[in-house]
Chains A and B, each alone.
Chain A
Amino acid sequence: MATQTSTPTRLTLRDLSKKSDRLTSGHRMCPGCAAPLVVKQVLMAIDEPVVVTCATGCLEVATTIFPQTAWNVPFIHNAFENSASTASGIEAAYRSLVRQGKIEDNNTRFVAFGGDGGTYDIGLQALSGAMERGHRMLYVCYDNNAYMNTGIQRSSATPLGANTTTSPAGKVVPGKRGMRKDLTAIMAAHNIPYVAQASPHNWRDLMQKVRKATAVDGPAFMNVLSSCNRGWRHDADETIEMQRLAVDTCMWPLYEVEDGEWRVTYKPKEKLPVTEYLKPQGRFRHLFQPGNQHLIDELQQEVDTRWERLLKLAGES
């Protein structure tokens, strides 16, 4: 159980291995799903008591099938699109009750989780409102690039060309049209104290970002890539490798925006071509068929443009 500690846990595997799980094993997430890794890393990085809100989605339905729960911290699921506004209410209640002396201030941290559907799309308004109002919370989007819980439909986080059940590759349409929405940049434009992009294959980078995010006295947002092998169509034991390839191809750069300062937190030694990331995934298989090379070229160009822009924002070019 969460208790307040005077000295923060060091981010060493030896120290972390002594911490109890806040999301316990025995949940029903798919083998190879990155989302529980993301949640465990996020919650393990926080030493303070935590209250979790969660949008409807894989994470919620697979961890809370009544009468069982995998959550070892207070948890609330309200609806699909309102993880952020539910957390707003809890955080407001906490401040009100502490101020009135009705409960003790025990340094509780509020973490809201949502998938890309509940965050990029239907929940964007609630998220934007909560960030603008300045509630002290960390919102974590686990981005698996589609509405995975309802059967792999495209979302605005789905990359160009990906084959999903509502953007299927067909005779005249080769998968998802248009580029992904750059949600992390949208959140940075809110001028909140802390925004970051992370990946669970680089656990130390992710957890350090969580530490920073929960230390600020205000809203923080983290976008975390979270492979879904069912939707991405790769083997269950390739999850971490897919995450690494996303980062090394700069499809998913790791960076943070701290008080408006952009900083790249990981620079690949050798920036791999996007094909290294696309090839092992079944959702992109059709892109390698004759006549679709232009999509790969477009994607490469987009990735290069965004990466250059990021380097410029971070003062590295």
Chain B
Amino acid sequence: MRHLRQHLPGRRYHHGGGDGSRQGRRGQVSDFKALDGNQAVAEAMRQINPDVVAAYPITPQTEAVQVFSQFVADGEVDTEFVTVESEHSAMSACVGAGAAGARVMTCTSSAGLAFMWEITYIAASMRLPIVMMVANRALSGPINIHCDHSDSMGARDNGWVQLFSESPEEAYDNMIQAVRIAEHPDLMLPVMVMQDGFITSHAMERVEVFDDQAVRDFVGTYTPRYSVLDVENPLTFGPLDFYVYYFEHKRQQVEAFSHAKDVILEVAADFNRRFNRNYGLMEAYRLDDADVALVALSSTAGTAKVVVDELRGQGVKAGLLKPRVFRPFPAEEMVEALSHVKAVAVMDRSISFGSMANAGPLFLEMAAAFYVNGNGSKVPMVDYVYGLGGRDIGPSEIESVYMDLLRIADGGEVPNLVTYLGVRE
């Protein structure tokens, strides 16, 4: 299958070990740097060199815009950095700048994303290719600065493409690809690039950073079709739309989304050609012959890979499916990848309050996907809500989930449709 790519670590390294400096590395493909997830994203933004960035600081995203501010202050980018007074104005300014035909980026977290919410809908409906990094963080209340996915999941129906990143490296790679995805003429949709707040936003890791020129060649130049700065051909953006046309305009957004999977894969293929790192709609880890499988987003997938390897060492056929793309949701591909598995556990780092069994949004999507695309096959599937407000999830907890799955796969009853993993009841 074209879209089910393994994450192949076959990288070309055209240079020796690094002192981290870009000096004297002309002509080399990449370099290694010790970066945390925020710095990695800021580095990608420096290389992309957007025309306008409008952002407001919020923990744990803050460092990304701080680092980028320094790039602006040092003249390393051509960007106009609009230091807005709120996230609401950040997204509003992004819409203005995007309508002006600029390449536009921003970053946020949690309440910041919630505060943008009204305007994220407008950004998508205006078909503005804004790219935004979201360092995932819990929503109030009570106030909490640590990771869960309730912010992005709350914004899942806003009309943005959503990419989740496991590591600083993936956050860097996704930011670069997001520009091409957003600006693709078939799409023209804003893209959100997620990473786990603190867990990867603040975790220093070895990140392969490509040459500036290579990144600039990859993202290319952006030629907008329309601009509110075109005074010779004045256009009206954001008019009043009654029932006569509103529905058709929403339908056009759906039409754009119908191209999204192809565009994401096309951009990923080119990224792989140039930088030799494989991305698809999802990553299947030791899944081909797996009996039981976990579905987990972002950094938790990294922890789960360790557990999978350990279980495999014990002869347990454990596997993992990590969705990279949550919007558009790759329903058919997810079901196909899991159709041979005897039991599936979906890991949700947020709750959809009041939904079926108070499950998480990823589980609900998966359940719907299996109902529609499963050809009648009913793979037992359970949901584990975990890690809310930054509660740690370790290998032993993930292992316990696999043990539950083995019992279910063995014909055991499904004890709970939804389990709140690691909570004091």
Cβ–Cβ contact B96 & A88, under 8 A = yes
Q: Which residue of A lies closest to B238 (CB)?
A: A77
Q: Which residue of B lies closest to A50 (CB)?
A: B231
B79 an interface residue at 8 Å Cβ cutoff? yes
Instruction: From A95, A100, A126, give the contact of B85 (CB < 8 A).
Output: A126
Instruction: From A1, A60, A69, A93, give the contact of B229 (CB < 8 A).
Output: A93
Given A75-B234, A93-B102, A133-B82, do A60 and B240 touch, yes or no (CB 8 Å)?
yes
List the B side residues contacting A78 at CB < 8 Å: 92, 95-96, 119, 122, 238
B78 an interface residue at 8 Å Cβ cutoff? yes
List the B side residues contacting A66 at CB < 8 Å: 239-242, 244-245
Report Cα–Cα, A300/B315, bound state, in Å. 89
Cβ–Cβ contact B78 & A85, under 8 A = no
Cβ–Cβ contact B229 & A77, under 8 A = no
- Chain A's interface size range is 35 or more
B94 an interface residue at 8 Å Cβ cutoff? yes
Chain A 61-104 interface mask (CB, 8 Å, partner B; 1/0): 10011110101111111110110111111111111110110110
A8 an interface residue at 8 Å Cβ cutoff? no
List the B side residues contacting A49 at CB < 8 Å: 231
Report Cα–Cα, A128/B84, bound state, in Å. 10
A53 an interface residue at 8 Å Cβ cutoff? yes
List the A side residues contacting B276 at CB < 8 Å: none
Instruction: From B96, B119, B245, give the contact of A90 (CB < 8 A).
Output: B96
Cβ–Cβ contact B231 & A89, under 8 A = no
Q: Which residue of A lies closest to B98 (CB)?
A: A89
Report Cα–Cα, A61/B240, bound state, in Å. 5
Cβ–Cβ contact A129 & B86, under 8 A = yes
- Tell me the chain B residues, 86-107 only, with Cβ under 8 Å from chain A: 86, 88-89, 92-102, 104
Report Cα–Cα, A306/B122, bound state, in Å. 41
Cβ–Cβ contact B230 & A93, under 8 A = no
Cβ–Cβ contact A88 & B236, under 8 A = no
- Tell me the chain B residues, 45-73 only, with Cβ under 8 Å from chain A: 51-52, 54
Cβ–Cβ contact A53 & B96, under 8 A = yes
Cβ–Cβ contact B85 & A93, under 8 A = no
A125 an interface residue at 8 Å Cβ cutoff? yes
Cβ–Cβ contact B231 & A51, under 8 A = yes
CB distance from B93 to the nearest CB of A (A): 3
Given A92-B54, A125-B86, A132-B85, do A82 and B119 touch, yes or no (CB 8 Å)?
yes
Report Cα–Cα, A77/B95, bound state, in Å. 10
Cβ–Cβ contact B79 & A96, under 8 A = yes
Cβ–Cβ contact B52 & A89, under 8 A = yes
- Tell me the chain B residues, 222-244 only, with Cβ under 8 Å from chain A: 227-232, 234-242, 244
Report Cα–Cα, A2/B231, bound state, in Å. 7
Given A81-B88, A97-B100, A129-B84, do A90 and B54 touch, yes or no (CB 8 Å)?
no
Cβ–Cβ contact B52 & A92, under 8 A = yes
Give the one of B86, B96, B237 with max A CB within 10 A. B96
Report Cα–Cα, A2/B234, bound state, in Å. 10
B80 an interface residue at 8 Å Cβ cutoff? yes
A6 an interface residue at 8 Å Cβ cutoff? no
Q: Which residue of B lies closest to A53 (CB)?
A: B96
* Additional A-B contact list (7), CB under 8 Å, known A61-B240, A75-B237: A65-B242, A69-B236, A74-B229, A79-B119, A88-B89, A96-B102, A125-B86
24 A-B pairs with C-beta separation under 8 A: A51-B231, A65-B239, A66-B245, A78-B92, A79-B92, A79-B118, A79-B119, A81-B88, A84-B89, A86-B95, A89-B95, A89-B98, A92-B52, A92-B96, A92-B102, A97-B101, A100-B78, A106-B231, A108-B229, A125-B86, A125-B89, A126-B92, A129-B89, A132-B85
> CB within 8 Å of B: which residues of A?
1-2, 49-51, 53, 60-61, 64-67, 69, 71-79, 81-82, 84-97, 99-100, 102-103, 106, 108, 125-126, 128-130, 132-133
